Amino acid sequence: MVLGKIKIPSDKKSKEKKLLKKMKNKDKEAFIKAYDLYVDQIYRYIFFRVSSHDDACDLSSEVFLKTWNYILSNDLKSEKTLRALIYKIAKTSIIDFYRKKSNLSNIAIDDENNRIDIPDSRQDIKKQAEINSDFNIIENKLRELKDEYREIIILRFIDELTIGEIADIINKTKGNARVLIHRSLKALRELMDNDNNKYEQ
Amino acid sequence: MNNKILIGQLNNLKNIKPDNEWKSNNREILYSQIFNSGNEAKIANFKIFAFPQRIFKFISQPAMVVVFISLIVISGGFFSARAAKNIKPGGSLYIARIISEKAQLAVTFNKEAKNKLGIKFANKHAKDITEILANPEFNVDENKVKIEKLTQDFKKEISTVKDKISKIDIGEAKDNNKDNNEGNNIDSNENVDEVEVFSANLEKEESGLQIFEPRAEIKQGGDNKESAEQENVSTSTIEASQASGGVEEEFNSGNANKIIEEAEELFNSQDYSGTLDKLEKVDDAIDADGEVKGASEEESTASSSLESGD
Q: Cβ contacts of residue B83 below 8 Å, gap of 6+?
A: B96
Mean pLDDT of A26-52: 89
Cβ-contact B152, B261 below 8 angstroms: no
Alpha-carbon distance of A188 to A103, in angstroms, equals 31
| Rounded distance between C-alpha atoms, residue A188 and residue A193, angstroms | 9
| Alpha-carbon torsion (B165, B167, B168, B174), positive or negative | positive
Q: Do the Cβ atoms of A44 and B17 come within 8 Å?
A: yes
The Cα–Cα gap between A39 and A42 comes to 5
A56 Cβ neighbours under 8 A, 6+ residues apart = A43, A46, A47, A50, B18
- CB count within 10 Å of CB A5 equals 8
- Contact criterion met (CB < 8 Å) for A60 and B26: yes
Enumerate residue ranges in chain B where pLDDT < 50: 41-44, 46, 190-219, 221-222, 225, 233-251, 289-310
CB contact under 8 A, A61 and B45: no
Instruction: Kindly state the average pLDDT of the residues A180-195.
Output: 88
CB A176 within 8 Å of CB A166: no
Render pLDDT for B163-215 as a digit per residue (tens, 0 to 9). Answer: 877 777 776 666 666 666 655 555 555 444 444 444 444 444 444 444 444 44
Using the predicted structure, report yes or no on whether residue A90 has a pLDDT greater than 70. yes
- The alpha-carbon gap from A164 to the nearest alpha carbon of chain B, in Å, equals 20
Residue A154 near residue A48 (C-beta atoms within 8 A): yes
Question: How far apart, in Å, are the Cα atoms of B101 and each of B106, B116, B153, B227?
Answer: 9, 13, 16, 56
The alpha carbon of residue A107 is apart from the nearest alpha carbon of chain B, in Å, by 31
Distance CA(A176)–CA(A166), nearest Å, equals: 10
Whole-angstrom Cα distance, residue B98 to residue B4? 96
Residue A88 pLDDT: 92
A98-141 pLDDT, tens digit each = 988 877 665 444 444 444 444 444 445 555 555 445 667 788 88
What is the predicted pLDDT for the residue at A46? 92
Q: Which of A60, A72, A193 sits opposite B18 (nearest CB)?
A: A60
Rounded Cα distance between B185 and B183, Å, is: 5
Please report the pLDDT score of residue B76 as a whole number: 74
A49 φψ region: left (φ > 0), alpha (ψ -120 to 50), beta (else): alpha
Query: CA of A115, closest CA in chain B: separation in Å?
Result: 27
Q: Find, among A125, A142, A118, A133, the residue nearest to A192 by Cα.
A: A142
Residues of B in contact with A3 (CB under 8 A): none
Mutate to test the interface with A, among B4, B5, B6, B7 (most CBs of A within 10 A): B6
Of the candidates B13, B33, B45, which has its C-beta nearest A138's C-beta?
Answer: B13
DSSP, residue by residue, A94-126:
HHHHHHHHHHHTTS-TT-GGGPPPPPPHHHHHH
Q: Shortest CA distance to A7 belongs to which of A173, A162, A167, A181? A: A162
What pLDDT digit, counting tens, does each position of B21-49 carry? Answer: 899 999 999 888 888 776 554 444 545 55
pLDDT-wise least confident of A47-56, A142-151, B156-165: B156-165
What integer is the mean pLDDT of A19-28? 84
Question: DSSP 3-state assignment of B102?
Answer: helix
Shortest Cα distance, chain A CAs vs residue B55, angstroms: 19
* Alpha-helix residue ranges (DSSP H) falling in B36-143: 40-45, 47-59, 62-84, 94-106, 111-134
What lies within 8 Å, CB to CB, of B65 at 6+ separation is B59
Nearest CA among A65, A69, A48, A52 for reference residue A150: A48
* Ordered DSSP codes for B119-170: HHHHHHHHHHHHHHHH-TTTSSGGGHHHHHHHHHHHHHHHHHHHHHHHHHHH
Distance CA B202, CA B206 (A): 6
Interchain CB distance below 8 Å, A189 and B6 = yes
